[in-house]
């Protein structure tokens, strides 16, 4: 399992492609249309602002997946099964200016990928040209102020963490920086609409706490470099998803708590972290989040724990989590 050099206990958190659990689809009322995506972890989710749906791609369960699904707040719809090869741990970002979802890299089995794809709402297209080297666990977000997809870090084929920053403008990748915060691993990235900054949550490569969590800190991209935001963040299990919230700004992180035994929801607002809730989805890792700008909901799908993949859907309404029953 990769990331062995990133943190000594990360391999306990990450789900191998062979997976576990049942990947059979639950069908809709007509017995043909899939109503619930197969159970998975290591997938990626974004919100398509032009079409008002959450998009979910890939991941792994009993097999590595390459399907694309949409969630409209009531039902899941499978949009495509062809396009990018099956993979997990890819970067998936919605470009609101060009109304495209951008996919980069990830892992297919034990092969790391460096390809770039875009979804235009009806079909996938692969983009050509040189760009970042193959990697997994990179993090990315759309910088609305500068109109580019930004990607940071990850782990290369040599198992060495990367600290470079790249930008995608819809035509080509440009390396914006070759250096970044030191002695840290990339956890997640999101765009804070209030600060108009891309925010990266990083965990310190150090000895874990007694409950196997790691200290974190938050960094923001100034336009030319990464700058630490004052204050140390809470301790989390590594590789926990984070999303930017609505126009007023802020961030939400759901820590599945599979190692320490307590799941929790954290908010970053007014330049500080606060614990919002201990209720909601049960313990897990490898889940994905997306923020539905139209309905002001955070959507969570899937994840795994103890070899069992999940196919449940949850929404955060700003106060509490509710499990959804897709129609």
Residues with Cβ < 8 Å from 209, sequence gap 6 or more? 215, 235
**Is pLDDT above 70 for 41?**
yes
105-119, 178-192, 266-280 — most confident range: 105-119
Q: Percentage of the chain surpassing pLDDT 70?
A: 89
For 211-270, the pLDDT digits (tens) are: 888 889 999 999 999 999 976 678 888 889 999 998 889 999 999 998 888 899 999 998
d(CA 201, CA 269): 14
The pTM (predicted TM-score) of the whole model is 0.91
- Helix (H), strand (E) at residue 221: strand 214-221
Confidence of residue 21 (pLDDT cuts 50, 70, 90): very low
Based on its alpha-carbon atoms, the radius of gyration of the chain, rounded to whole angstroms, reads: 18
**Is pLDDT above 80 for 316?**
yes
Domain boundaries, the chain: 10-323
Overall average pLDDT of the 164-177 stretch: 97
Residues with Cβ < 8 Å from 276, sequence gap 6 or more? 252, 265, 266, 267
* CATH of 10-323 among 3.90.25.10, 3.40.50.970, 2.120.10.80, 3.40.50.720: 2.120.10.80
């Amino acid at each position: 399992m990769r990331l062995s050099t990133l943190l000594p206990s990360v391999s306990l958190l990450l789900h191998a492609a062979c997976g576990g659990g049942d990947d059979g689809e639950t069908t809709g009322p007509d017995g043909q249309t899939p109503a619930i995506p197969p159970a998975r972890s290591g997938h990626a989710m974004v919100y398509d602002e032009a079409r008002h749906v959450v998009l979910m791609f890939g991941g792994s369960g009993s097999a590595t997946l390459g399907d694309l699904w949409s969630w409209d707040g009531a039902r899941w719809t499978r949009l495509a099964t062809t396009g990018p090869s099956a993979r997990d741990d890819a970067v998936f970002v919605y470009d609101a200016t060009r109304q495209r979802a951008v996919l980069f890299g990830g892992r297919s089995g034990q092969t790391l990928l460096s390809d770039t794809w875009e979804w235009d709402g009806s079909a996938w297209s692969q983009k050509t040209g040189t760009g970042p080297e193959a990697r997994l666990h990179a993090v990315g977000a759309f910088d609305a102020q500068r109109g580019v997809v930004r990607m940071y870090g990850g782990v290369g084929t040599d198992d060495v963490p990367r600290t470079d920053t790249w930008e995608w403008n819809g035509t080509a990748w440009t390396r914006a920086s070759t250096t970044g915060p030191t002695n840290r691993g990339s956890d997640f990235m999101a765009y804070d609409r209030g600060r108009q900054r891309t925010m990266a949550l990083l965990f310190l490569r150090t000895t874990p706490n007694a409950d196997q969590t790691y200290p974190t800190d938050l960094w923001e991209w100034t336009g030319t470099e990464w700058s630490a935001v004052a204050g140390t963040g809470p301790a989390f299990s590594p590789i926990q998803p984070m999303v930017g919230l609505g126009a007023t700004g802020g961030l939400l992180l759901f820590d599945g708590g599979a190692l320490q035994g307590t799941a929790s929801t954290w908010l970053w607002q007014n330049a500080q972290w606060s614990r919002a809730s201990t209720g909601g989805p049960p313990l897990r890792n490898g889940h994905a989040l997306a923020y539905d700008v139209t309905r002001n909901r955070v959507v969570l799908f899937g994840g795994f724990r103890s070899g069992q993949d999940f196919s449940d859907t949850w929404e955060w309404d700003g106060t509490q989590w509710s499990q959804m029953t897709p129609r």
